[in-house]
Amino acid sequence: MDDKFWNYGSWKYWVLLMGKILVVAGMAWALGWWDGRLMPAPNQLLAHWSRLGTDWPYTLVMALCGLASYLLLRLALWDQKFRCRVCVRRLRLPQAEGIYSSVLLGGTPYCEYVCTWGHGKLFVPELHLASSGKPMWTGYESLWDNLLRAEEAAVEK
Ligand SMILES: [Zn+2]
C-alpha cells in the first residue's frame, strides 16, 4: 500500500463507519423482526406461503422499513463524509470559493471544511459534473514534524 491510502483515514474513522453500518443493519433487522411479530398472521389459506408478496399490509410495512433503513444508511454515510479522517470530529468552518456565474474565470465553485484541531481539510466541489472531481481529503502534517524538518534543513546548509 502506498502512503496515500494510509493517509486517507485513521483506524478510528473506519471503526466509526463500521459501527454505524452495524447499528443500521441491527435496526433494519429489528424493524423486520417487529414487523413479523406485530402484524396479524395471514389467513390459513396462505399459511405455507411466504408473507412477503402475499400479505400486502406486511409487504407494505416491510417496504417502509427497508426504505427507512436505506435512508438511515445514507444519513450515516453523509455524516461520515464530513468527519475528520484523523480524530473523527465533525469538520467545521465551511469556506465557499468560486462563483457560478464566472466558472471560466475563477474556476469551479467549491467548499472547504477544516478540522478545528488542524488535522486537515476536505475539498468538496459544488458543481457535480463528470470533470469536477470528487471530495478530497488533504491531511496536514504535525507542526512538530514541520519544525524538525525545517531544523534539519537549516543544519544541512
Ligand atoms: Zn481532526
The length of the chain is: 157
Give the containing element (helix H, strand E) for 112: strand 110-114
Neighbours of ion ligand 1 (CB under 5 A): 84, 86-87, 115, 117, 119
Would you give the DSSP letter of residue 54?
A: T
Residue 66: the pLDDT is 92
Q: Please check the confidence at residue 119 and state whether its pLDDT lies above 70.
A: yes
Ligand 1 centroid distance, CA of 73 (Å)? 23
Q: Are 57 and 39 in contact (CB under 8 A)?
A: yes
Nearest to 19 by CA among 71, 60, 92, 79: 79
Q: Is 19 a residue whose pLDDT tops 50?
A: yes
> Helix 11-38 vs helix 56-81: angle between axes, to the nearest 10 degrees?
170
| Span from the CA of 92 to the centroid of ligand 1 (angstroms) | 10
Distance 60 CA to ligand 1 centre (A): 43
Show Cβ contacts of residue 62 under 8 Å, excluding neighbours closer than 6 positions.
32, 35, 52
Round to whole Å and give the CA distance between 66 and 59. Answer: 10
The pLDDT tens digits of the residues spanning 36-56 come to 788 777 766 666 777 777 788
Burial of 76 (0-12, 13-18, 19+ CB in 10 A): middle
pLDDT at residue 131, as a whole number: 67
Give this prediction's pTM. Answer: 0.72
More confident residue, 64 or 106: 64
Given a contact cutoff of 8 angstroms between Cβ atoms, the answer to whether 108 and 126 are in contact is yes
- Domain locations in the chain? 3-81, 92-156
Please write the tens of the pLDDT for every residue from 66-111.
Answer: 999 999 999 999 999 999 988 899 999 999 888 778 777 777 888 9
